[in-house]
Structure 1
C-alpha cells in the first residue's frame, strides 16, 4: 500500500511539474502594451552596439528571442527560415528583423557567415535583456552551459518601443510560423 501511495504521489507531482513547465511561456515575457525600448542595447554579430531605435524599420521591429545559434538545431532552422522566407516580407511591411540569444558575438558572427544571414543577431551573453524581459528559462541552473537561454519568443514592437504582439509555441521544438509572424504585423 505504501508503495502504491508513493507511486501515485510521484505521478501527481510529475504531472503537475510537466503542466507547469508546459504553461510557463504563457506567463513569461513582456506584456503586450508594455514599452521596452530602454531595455534593448546589445552588440550585433559584427560587434556594433544596437538599440531598438537603431534597428527599427519605419513601422517597428520584429524581435526574435532564440536559445542558441551554436547548439540548438531548432533555433538554427528558425533563423535560416526567417532569412529565406520572412526577412524581405517583414521589411516590405515596414519592419526590421533582429534576433537575440545568449550567444557570444563571435558565435553569432560565425553563424551569419556560414548561412548568409543578413539581419542582426544580437548577443546578450550575460542574459541582462533576457532577464529584464522575463524570458529566461528557469529549467537550467547556474552551472549548466544552457543557463541564461530565453524561451523562444517573437515580439512585434512599434516605433515607440511598445510590444504590439507576442508569439510563441509551448515547446522549444516548435516556433511561430512565418505566416503567423507576418499576420501579426
Structure 2
C-alpha cells in the first residue's frame, strides 16, 4: 500500500499543476481529486449505456466534458485534437471518452464525419453533468443550452479514483492533450 501511495503522490502533485493544462487557471468544479469518481449515466452512439469501468484501459480513463459537437467550433477542434492523440493515450493504458448534452444523432454524425476513435457520449438528462458537478450554471432548464458542462477533463485511475481534473469557465480555453500525455507518460 505504501508503495502505491508513494507512486501516486508525485503523479497527483504533477498532474494538479497548471503546467499540464492550458494557460488559464482551472475553476473549482468537478469531482474531488482523490475521491471515487461519480457514476456516469450516458448513452453512446449505439444507444448503449457504458460504465466508467467499461471505458477504462488498464490504467484508467480520461473523460472530456464538452459543450457541443454541433454548434461549438472550439469543442469540435478539441475533439479532433484528442483523436489525433488517442493512440498515444491508449498505449499508456488509458481509455478515452467525451461527454456532451448533444443527442446521439449529432454525436454519431460528428464521430463518423471526423473518424473519431473513442466514444462520444450523450448526457441529455444532465445526470452525469450534475453528478460530476460540471453543469454550467449560466444556463437554466428553460434555456436552449441548458445541460452544457464547463469544458474540461477528468483523469480517473483503474480503481475509479479521480487522479486529476481541470475545467474552464470560458469556452475558448482547453486542456492541451499533448501536455497531458507528456505528464502521464512520465508515470505510466
> TM class by shorter-chain length?
0.7 to 0.9
* 1:137-159 alpha-carbon deviations (Å, 9 max, x no partner): 11112221111100011011001
| Distance in 1 between residues matched to 2:134 and 2:78, nearest whole Å | 18
Name the counterpart of 2:55.
Answer: 55
| Distance in 2 between residues matched to 1:169 and 1:135, nearest whole Å | 10
Corresponding residue SS for 2:163: strand
| Distance in 2 between residues matched to 1:75 and 1:51, nearest whole Å | 23
The reply on whether 1:66 has 2:69 as its aligned counterpart is no
- Say whether the 8 Å CA contact 1:35–1:162 is kept in structure 2: yes
| Pairwise CA RMSD | 1.6
| Distance in 1 between residues matched to 2:65 and 2:117, nearest whole Å | 17
- Say whether the 8 Å CA contact 2:74–2:171 is kept in structure 1: yes
Name the counterpart of 1:15.
Answer: none
- Of structures 1 and 2, the one with the larger relative CO (CA 8 A, separation 6+) is 2
Gaps of 5+ in 2: 1-23
**Structure 1 residue ranges (4+ consecutive) displaced by more than 3 angstroms after TM superposition:** none
Question: Structure 2 length normalisation: TM-score?
Answer: 0.81
Q: Give the 3 Å change call, closer, same or farther, for CA 184–146 of structure 1 in structure 2.
A: farther
* 1:149-174 alpha-carbon deviations (Å, 9 max, x no partner): 00011011001111101123442111
- Say whether the 8 Å CA contact 1:60–1:157 is kept in structure 2: yes
Give matches, 1:157-172, under 5 Å. 157-172=156-171
Give the helix-richer structure, 1 or 2: 1
Give matches, 1:9-20, under 5 Å. none
The reply on whether 1:134 has 2:158 as its aligned counterpart is no
User: 1:47 Cα shift?
Assistant: 1.5
User: 1:184 Cα shift?
Assistant: 4.2
User: 1:52 Cα shift?
Assistant: 0.5
Gaps of 5+ in 1: 1-21
**Number of positions where the alignment pairs a residue of Structure 1 with one of Structure 2:** 161
Question: Structure 1 length normalisation: TM-score?
Answer: 0.82
The reply on whether 1:35 has 2:42 as its aligned counterpart is no
